[in-house]
Amino acid sequence: MINMMNTERKQYVRRDPRYGKDISSCGIVGFINHDGKLTDGSYIRRAIANMHDRGNGLGGGFAAYGIYPEYAELYALHIMYDSKDDVQDVEKYLKEHLKIYHSEDIPIFETPKVPDYPYFRRYFVEPTEKHRKFQADDDYMVSIVMHINVHFEHAYIISSGKNMGVFKGVGFPEDLAEFFRLDEYEGYIWTAHNRFPTNTPGWWGGAHPFALLDWSIVHNGEISSYGTNRRYLEMFGYNCTLQTDTEVVAYLMDLLVRKHNLDFQAASAVLAPPFWKDIDSMSEERKNYYTQLRMIYGGAALNGPFAFLMAYSQGLIGLNDRIKLRPLVVAVNGQTTYMSSEEAAIREISPELEQIWAPRAGWPVIAKLNESPVIMSVE
Amino acid sequence: MESNSVAQQEHTEIVDQLGIRSLRPGRYFGSLPQYYVDRDHDKCIRCLVCVRQCSWDATFYDANRNIVYNKYENCVNCKRCVAMCPTQCIRIREWTDGFRDNDNWSDKNIRGIYKQADTGGVLLTGCGNDKEYSTYFDKIVLDASQVTNPSIDPLREPMELRSFIGRKPEKADSSRELSTKDYPNIVAEVPIIFAPMSFGSISYNFQEGLARAATNMGTYFNTGEGGLHPNFYKYGKRAIVQVASGRFGVSATYLKQAAAVEIKIGQGAKPGIGGHLPGEKVTAEISRTRMIPEGSDAISPAPQHDIYSIEDLRLLIYAIKEAVEYSVPVSVKIAAVHNVAAIASGIIRAGADIVVIDGFRGGTGAAPTIIRDNVGIPIEVALAQVDQRLRDEGIRHCGSIIAAGGIRSSADVVKAIALGADAVYIGTAALLAVGCTLCQQCHRGRCAWGITTNRPELLPRLPADFAEERLTNLLRGWSHEIQEMLGLMGLNSIESLRGNRLKLRGVGLTKYELDTLGIEQAGR
Amino acid sequence: MKVVYPVLGRCINCHLCEVACVISHSESREPISAYFFEGLRFNWDQSQNYVDPAQAKQAGAPIPLSRCKVWEDNVSFTSTMCRHCEVADCVLACKNGALYRDESGRVLLNEDKCVGCWMCIMACRFGAITRNVEKQNVPGVKSNGINHHCDLCGDMKIPACVAVCPTRALVYEERDYPQEMESEITIELPAEIA
């Protein structure tokens, strides 16, 4: 069921893409089971529901890893169509450029709490042999995603990773969880987002998480350096089409970690760089290292208040801005690491916790699959 | 013809000596002064401070009448006498009986024609373009944080202005090796650098003041095309040294002791033309610095005669890099002209680490008025186009952009950086800081404020420590203001402002102008 | 003690130190009154020529008498005034004790005792003493005047000339007395003066 209101709204929201920017303030929560044990979506739903008041019903979403074990080696494309006009064209384009193993509508549960919604389909694909000769799979997939997001008026790829998926929309997150029937999925990493958009009407494509390949980001805050970051990314072929600052985080992580092979500490030091006064008092070797990071990646530094959770197939990373202008707490219980805006959300699903703390500004918390929940930080 | 004009000259001199100020041969229109010096004789105590301070032969004392009087036609409105008068009895006004109102023929046009009819020469001037073109900086406004993101108080939180200027690698080495060691950069603690002003066009003291202020604030000064005086080699690490078409003062030592080397192709005030320092201004010290004989004319040709194409530029860039053993960045300075984006891209691809764009408001020590006022384009649009072009080509990291010409305040600095500059040059602002009143007479070499002159009797009027103190104050004030502006935008480091055009909005610009600048209309 | 020293190469020949001196020694401490109504008459005209004070007064030209003086050649200028020397030749030379040193170390004049003999002018190595012809203590001698030199502006914290100088070409500070100056003339000082 397509609601035409959405199309109109989208046209309104979709300003000249060079200038558009949405800001939001939100609640975020996520957890990872270090042993890869799967849990169903009811836990994350309860956790984010506990932070109901951090959103205003104009956006919510979830990312889950490990939900498509039967297609684990294929890229799972979640595509949102806000008009069925484009479905045929997009599918024609996908057939030309990718090998599609399976495609289906994303199952939904119609509820009065989510009155208008676009059309969601998912495709399990991989690049054709012909294209594999010329480009690495991931690079090729990024170019496909960028192409569809830019060139098809009514289609957005909301996630494109392997064995993972993003479910998001307009509404309170607990209602959307019901809508997307998340209780029926099982994953080892879950993140969720409750959105409080402040200057644009809620839009399904503008909800969190934002995902590219394996990366998914939920973000609370506003990236004041968005203009700089977006133009920096454009130099590397990333086009920001979703008009939300969070998008740049996903693309930056993709650039830094996948393309430039930086480790997570280095990538975190790029996104939330240490202050010069701290760098200047470091040992010569570390000083040079951080100086060069800031020199090279000045355009990639994130500025403004933020706390975000970045998930990828192998872990979950939490990062705060340089002066901690947004809340973020981290907790560990058994083999599970939790990260959230509020402790209450964590206590809701795990009343007993071994350890809970608020990480330092600009210091990443990195929780990796198949490792014990160790707290790592920027040296 | 020749003898006739010599005769006229003599006639004029005699008439001048007689103090007759009416129309006369040779300087037919000399009796139409531009300024009127209004002196309150009741308040004048005849201390003669003004008489001694006037370097333009405009103020005199008549002992018989016991009165101070002026030759109005010589007054340039530099306001030295006004500033020095202990009783504030002097005011300088526009000559009150101006020409009949005419919106088409301005006084400037009319007087220009009179002067040229008198002399047959090219009209010269100093400082920057003063015509009424729109200044885009004045039509751009800044963003501020409200509620959704907190503004940051620079008095309580770190607020970083450190800027690296030069070529950078595309990415860091993943193995933690230092990947920037082959990329020499200059590190400015404030992104404001003193513009190229040569010793000769400016005074010895002023250049020393620039050097010391740059040292104090951790930024740089630019020697201009006149070389670096041996006494200033100690400030070498804060000097960007120029190699211009005249090659004045260039030697291996000169290049090696510098923080960066700049190849000067053009200047915003006079794109496409050279320079001429008259022989009488080439004093012993200037001759030593420029490495030319004392008293000889110092002529900078219009082009660099070894650069007739972009590939020639590449040769010079690498010749310099070889000479300095790749230890300092090489910059290329061009005037903002119509095709500036493509030229800048070519310059970066030719191997330059920094490209300096000098807008048409940029100042000069001497330029033909007609060129200063009519050639070149505004820095705002040039900068926006160059930055966008380099990004489109994916080579923005290969070179830094310095914007010059028309930076008047810290807000202009912020706007320029948000449009895409890595740093800015300030020239006229630095002159103003040490007392310049923009009388536009720099080319005459008798600046009453001691800034653009090297006459021994005028030099002490601007001591180096004064210049140092005032320039340091200016930079300090501006950097506080920049920090405040960053803070109110919710940023705490200058690199998050660089190219951040979302922080800018246009007021009163057409759609086409907004697109050229790459910014959005205010309210959207 | 602190006295006023010129800094070489900084003077711009504006003569504001002289203006400030005249005003600071006037009763009104206001430029116009100081110059037109109270000013002492100086004995040089504006082009450095000696002018008979009587004539200067007749001409009505208010050429005020400053205690410092800017000396100029073509390109360099210096303002000079009394240094209040530790070994003050003028005090030694003064035959009737008009010049004396006060407890703070300044060399001052007892105006009533000066007879205008000008031994102080002869003795001063800085040329810092001039004549004040407004005042006469010896009835029979016309226009000899009395000694006139810097008193460091009496009650003011900083002498006016130092305060006004736009390029800080004058400094008010304490320096070690230069040895060469002492060695130039050697005088056996009477015990009570030393």
Q: Domain spans of chain C? A: 2-184
A327 touches chain B (CB under 8 A): no
* B235 contacts B213 by C-beta, under 8 angstroms: no
Distance CA B413, CA B426 (A): 9
pLDDT surpasses 50 at B167: yes
Mean model confidence pLDDT for chain C: 79
Say which CATH superfamily domain B137-170+189-497 falls into: Aldolase class I (3.20.20.70)
Distance CA A28, CA A326 (A): 11
**Mean pLDDT, range C83-106, rounded to an integer:** 90
**Token digits of residue A195:** 């959105």
- Name the neighbours of B, counting chains with at least 3 Cβ pairs within 8 A: A, C
pLDDT surpasses 80 at C106: yes
Q: Which residues contact C114 (CB under 8 A, 6 or more apart)?
A: C96, C98, C99, C137, C146, C147
Closest-CA residue to B358 (of B383, B389, B321, B329): B383
Torsion angle, alpha carbons of B363, B366, B368, B371, to 10:
-20
Q: What is the largest CA-CA distance in chain B?
A: 87
**Mean pLDDT, range C34-55, rounded to an integer:** 56
What's the pLDDT at C194?
44
Written as one letter, the residue type at A35 is D
B49: part of which helix (H) or strand (E)? helix B49-53
B32-121 domain in CATH 3.30.70.20?
yes
What would the pLDDT profile of B257-270 be if each residue is shown by its tens digit? 999 999 999 999 99
Distance CA A145, CA A80 (A): 12
B169 touches chain A (CB under 8 A): yes
* Partners of A193 in beta bridges: A28, A61
Cross-chain Cβ contact A303/B176 below 8 Å: no
Cross-chain Cβ contact A294/B179 below 8 Å: no
Written as one letter, the residue type at B252 is A
Distance CA B114, CA B128 (A): 22
What would the pLDDT profile of B408-418 be if each residue is shown by its tens digit? 999 999 999 99
Backbone angles phi, psi at A218, to 5 degrees: -115, 145
What would the pLDDT profile of C61-73 be if each residue is shown by its tens digit? 556 778 888 888 7
Candidate from B46, B450, B456 with C-beta closest to C62? B46
Place of tokens 């201390």: B47
What's the pLDDT at B162?
94
Cross-chain Cβ contact B463/C14 below 8 Å: no
Distance of CA B134 to the CA centre of its chain: 19
Secondary structure letter of residue A329 according to DSSP: E
CA angle centred on A318, ends A314 and A323, rounded to 5° = 155
Distance CA B250, CA B241 (A): 9
**Mean pLDDT, range C185-193, rounded to an integer:** 52
Label residue A5 by pLDDT band (50, 70, 90): very low
Our answer on whether A and C touch (3+ beta-carbon pairs < 8 Å) is no
Question: What proportion of chain A, given as a percentage, has pLDDT over 90?
Answer: 23
Per DSSP bridges, beta strands B354-358 and B400-404 are parallel
Label residue B39 by pLDDT band (50, 70, 90): very high
What's the pLDDT at A56?
78
A228 touches chain B (CB under 8 A): yes
- Name the neighbours of A, counting chains with at least 3 Cβ pairs within 8 A: B
Cross-chain Cβ contact B457/C168 below 8 Å: no
Concerning whether A26 is annotated as a catalytic residue, the answer is yes
> C36-48 burial string, b = 16+ CB within 10 Å, else e?
eebbbbbbeebee
C65 touches chain B (CB under 8 A): no
**Mean pLDDT, range B146-167, rounded to an integer:** 89
Disruptive mutation site among C16, C58, C76, C161 for chain B (greatest number of B CBs within 10 Å): C16
* B330 contacts B260 by C-beta, under 8 angstroms: yes
B203 touches chain C (CB under 8 A): no
**Mean pLDDT, range B472-481, rounded to an integer:** 96
The total of other beta-carbon atoms located within 10 Å of residue C128's CB is 22
Distance CA C6, CA B418 (A): 49
Choosing from A13, A23, A26, A158, the catalytic residue is: A26
What's the pLDDT at A10?
39
Using CA atoms, how far residue A360 sits from A145, A264, A279, A378, B256, in Å, is 35, 16, 16, 10, 44
* B137 contacts B408 by C-beta, under 8 angstroms: yes
Chain A residues inside the 8 Å CB shell of B148 = 23-25, 198-199, 222
Torsion angle, alpha carbons of A168, A170, A176, A181, to 10:
-60
A260 touches chain B (CB under 8 A): yes
* Partners of A64 in beta bridges: A165, A190
Label residue B493 by pLDDT band (50, 70, 90): very high
A259 touches chain B (CB under 8 A): yes
What's the pLDDT at C137?
84
What's the pLDDT at C9?
84
Candidate from B42, B47, B63 with C-beta closest to C15? B47
**Token digits of residue A72:** 């684990």
> B390-424 burial string, b = 16+ CB within 10 Å, else e?
bbeeebbbbbbbbbbbbbbebbbbbbbbbbbbbbb
pLDDT surpasses 50 at B28: yes
Chain C residues inside the 8 Å CB shell of B204 = none
What would the pLDDT profile of B399-454 be if each residue is shown by its tens digit? 999 999 989 999 999 999 999 999 999 999 999 999 999 999 999 889 999 999 98
Distance CA A343, CA A350 (A): 10
What would the pLDDT profile of A304-355 be if each residue is shown by its tens digit? 888 989 999 889 999 998 888 889 999 998 889 999 998 888 988 888 888 8
CATH code, residues C2-184? 3.30.70.20
Label residue B114 by pLDDT band (50, 70, 90): confident
CA angle centred on A375, ends A371 and A379, rounded to 5° = 115
Our answer on whether B and C touch (3+ beta-carbon pairs < 8 Å) is yes
Q: Which residues contact A53 (CB under 8 A, 6 or more apart)?
A: none
Cross-chain Cβ contact B49/C14 below 8 Å: yes
C159: left (phi over 0), alpha (psi -120 to 50) or beta: beta
Distance of CA B452 to the CA centre of its chain: 12
Distance CA A152, CA A14 (A): 13
Secondary structure letter of residue B73 according to DSSP: G
What's the pLDDT at C99?
94
Cross-chain Cβ contact B158/A277 below 8 Å: yes
Highest-pLDDT range among A369-373, B117-121, C91-95: C91-95
Annotate B157-200 with DSSP letters as a single string. S--B--EEES---SS--TTS--TTTTS--EEESSSEEEPP--BT
Written as one letter, the residue type at A170 is V
Label residue C125 by pLDDT band (50, 70, 90): confident
What would the pLDDT profile of A16-45 be if each residue is shown by its tens digit? 444 444 445 688 999 999 888 899 888 898
**Token digits of residue B332:** 């290329």
Torsion angle, alpha carbons of B137, B139, B143, B144, to 10:
90
CATH code, residues A23-368? 3.60.20.10
C55 touches chain B (CB under 8 A): no
* B172 contacts A297 by C-beta, under 8 angstroms: yes
What would the pLDDT profile of C8-24 be if each residue is shown by its tens digit? 888 998 889 988 998 88
Shortest distance between the Cα of B285 and any Cα of chain A, in A, equals 40
Give the range among B224-228, C137-141, C167-171 with minimum mean pLDDT.
Answer: C137-141
* C145 contacts C135 by C-beta, under 8 angstroms: yes
**Token digits of residue B498:** 């660089």
Q: Which SS3 state, helix, strand or coil, does residue B242 take? A: strand
Q: Where are the beta strands (DSSP E) in A170-305?
A: 186-187, 189-197, 210-212, 215-221
Cross-chain Cβ contact C167/B456 below 8 Å: no
What's the pLDDT at C32?
82
* C17 contacts C79 by C-beta, under 8 angstroms: yes
Shortest distance between the Cα of B80 and any Cα of chain A, in A, equals 44
What's the pLDDT at B19?
73
Candidate from B66, B86, B461 with C-beta closest to C167? B461
Q: Which pTM was predicted? A: 0.87
Annotate C62-116 with DSSP letters as a single string. --B--SSEEEE-SS-EEEE-----SS-HHHHH-TTS-EEE-TTS-EEE-TTT---
Closest-CA residue to A308 (of A208, A379, A375): A208
Peptide bond into B150 cis (omega under 30): no
Label residue A376 by pLDDT band (50, 70, 90): very low
Place of tokens 């484009």: A86
Chain C residues inside the 8 Å CB shell of B46 = 35, 61-62
Q: What is the CA radius of gyration of chain C?
A: 17
Backbone angles phi, psi at A9, to 5 degrees: -60, -40
pLDDT surpasses 60 at A7: no
Distance CA A32, CA A39 (A): 10
Disruptive mutation site among A22, A226, A231, A232 for chain B (greatest number of B CBs within 10 Å): A231
Distance CA B195, CA A190 (A): 55
pLDDT higher at B172 or B136: B136
Backbone angles phi, psi at A212, to 5 degrees: -145, 125
**Mean pLDDT, range A220-238, rounded to an integer:** 88
What's the pLDDT at C183?
42
Q: Where are the beta strands (DSSP E) in A137-240?
A: 155-159, 164-169, 186-187, 189-197, 210-212, 215-221
Label residue C188 by pLDDT band (50, 70, 90): low
Distance CA B495, CA B517 (A): 20
Q: Which residues contact B215 (CB under 8 A, 6 or more apart)?
A: B235, B238
